[in-house]
A and B are shown apart, each in its own frame.
Chain A
């Protein structure tokens, strides 16, 4: 076993253990942090495959942005864990059985000849730019898929706004724009009163 294999098995072991931790830890903050670790190990495996850009993007986007936001949400919301865990142990044996059968079946297939014949990637020259190659492919051969992905993001934005933006009517808040634009005449009414005289 050479150094590369050792690193691969190390990252894989950390990945699997942390992924297990994500679904078993009681504290959601631990779970979110373990997910960060899982993403980090996955990025390490990608680095071994010489997919540098993907590895860095995974760390920057998922670890840097998505998971931090997620942690904020977890910490701010008061999630009732007891209710979420209701029925967990009831279904646990059933779920484990099915997951076990699937895992065994998949590993039987994976151990077959198909994947043993695969040759490992040839190492690229040191001036080979993974990012450049990826960019070239995305903007030429995969331009259609790339545009579609952009449309999917647009749908996500429209959907998120449509589902969450609501103009509340039960809340009394002043409108700043109206407050700034207010004129003297809106606030003060000059009343001409005849002076009162004593009878």
Chain B
């Protein structure tokens, strides 16, 4: 993704920096980060990837959810340097070759958002839970699993509908039945 429009504030050397090597949305990246820099802030401020949102900075709202090695995590609770050698996926990495991920497409079609600010976090949690065999496929299980992602606009009904439509399209039911057999 072209982030050249964003200026990148330089980290003054007086604070000391650490080199971080990790994979971001499939691309190997090396960058210098402050030791107290949180992954969320590095994404938003240093890398210009604003899709990952800050809603509380305390791990309470889920707006900053990203995937770290395939697991949904609150990026506000994670120092950037902890990601050494890890695979980080943000909402910017969901669409492939200009085509929306089925979860994104279903969020669009189900109107599973209003202001859109919690939406990246909702979708990152959704894509993770669709791959998580521990989580039941019924609405109640999905709602329970998604309850770390607050939507103050209250679009919960449509979000669950979008997730369940995605499940059918992604064929997760079939896969998991096979897995259970």
Do the two shown chains form a genuine complex with each other?
no
Contact residues of A with B, CB < 8 Å? none
